[in-house]
Amino acid sequence: MSGIVLRRGRFSVRVDRRTVVLAAVLVVVLAGLALLGLCYGAAWASPARVFAALGGSGGGPGVVIREWRLPRVAAGLVFGAALGLAGAIFQNVTRNPLGSPDVIGLDSGAYTGALVALTVLGGTAAELTVASVAGGLLTAAAVYLLSLGGSRSGLRLIVIGIAVNAMLTALNSWIVLRAELEVAIAAVGWNAGSLNGVGWSRVAVPFAVLAVLFAVLATRAPALHQAALGTELAVTTGVRHESLRLQLVVIGVGCTATVTAVAGPIAFVALAAPQIGKRLARAPGIPLLPAALCGAVLLTGADLVAQMLLAPVSLPVGVVSTAIGGCYLIWLLTKEVRRR
């Protein structure tokens, strides 16, 4: 399908027409899911009341929509996009559909950092964010160093990442068992991955951090797509491959750890969203925009299912995403085995 060239001054980018159409469709789906999320709650609010609340009126119900439901919906959209982008980054870097932060241990590393902040430090929002990012970066560094000398397919990195993930999971269980009862209960509940109780005060800083990471990633997107065509070709076009990989890993870890610091480790969104976006866009590599939009759709939809499944009890969104992602992972592994 032919492409569309977007120009602004000396800057230009070519976008596949199918990707543009797909992005428009996914945006419409996201708008529908967001409206449903704002309407649904202990008391159903009509779309007219939702729009009135967003306009600043609506009385008591309007406050509920603006201060309780809207932050949760916004978190689902932004965090889902962040996880989708993180998955796209690592699947592009490893050139393997299993190259995802939750598979290679980055989620567990970020959770380890957060557990240290909860048990040793005061556990404030800033400490959780910094500790999560530090844990994710240290895990990424360990996996990368241990996988040096592996094949370009990224299989060695993924296998080592799975092993590191298992060791970190055991370490996290030990930390929880040694913690005080109140901290252990909070940590175990948070480990499931949840958007319950998310408010503007908890997401303001993470949203700002993610906005910066998204902007930086946008500047590296052309080089990323060139690198996806092959290392030799990318180098001939002026791409500094090792420097680019390092920058992308830092951005991917930052996205994953920022989400983990607020909502806990949410599994399988980063694994499934890039591959779904790739198949819908019929792209040769892992396109970033479809991955981000598919991640937002998956997380927002999973959170709605988590709220409705056992209503009025709201399940952690990680329970639903794990159930969906487990089925997807079985399908993906079966397809990879048949291909080989």
Phi, then psi, of 7 in degrees rounded to 5: -125, 140
Q: What is the CATH number of the domain that holds 245?
A: 1.10.3470.10
pLDDT value for 337: 66
Domain count, the chain: 1
Question: 329 is written with which tokens?
Answer: 């992972």
Q: How far apart are CA 108 and CA 116, in angstroms?
A: 12
Between CA 44 and CA 46 the distance in angstroms is 7
Q: Which pLDDT score, from 0 to 100, does residue 1 have? A: 46
pTM of the complete model beyond 0.75: yes
Taking only the tens place, the pLDDT of each residue in 130-168 is 888 888 889 988 888 887 765 545 677 888 888 999 999
CB atoms within 10 A of CB 313: 8
Q: What is the pLDDT of residues 183-216, one digit of tens each?
A: 888 778 778 888 888 888 888 888 999 999 999 9
Residue 238, judged by CB atoms within 10 A of its CB (0-12, 13-18, 19+), counts as exposed
Cβ atoms of 262 and 203 closer than 8 Å: yes
Q: pLDDT of 31-80, one tens digit each? A: 999 999 999 888 888 888 888 888 877 666 778 888 889 999 999 999 99
Please give the pLDDT value at position 192: 81
Phi (first) and psi of residue 224, to 5 degrees: -65, -45
Residue range of the domain that includes 74? 3-339
- Residues in Cβ contact with 47 at an 8 Å cutoff, skipping those fewer than 6 apart: 35, 39
Vertex 270: Cα angle to 66 and 211 (nearest 5): 50
Q: What is the pLDDT of residue 124?
A: 72
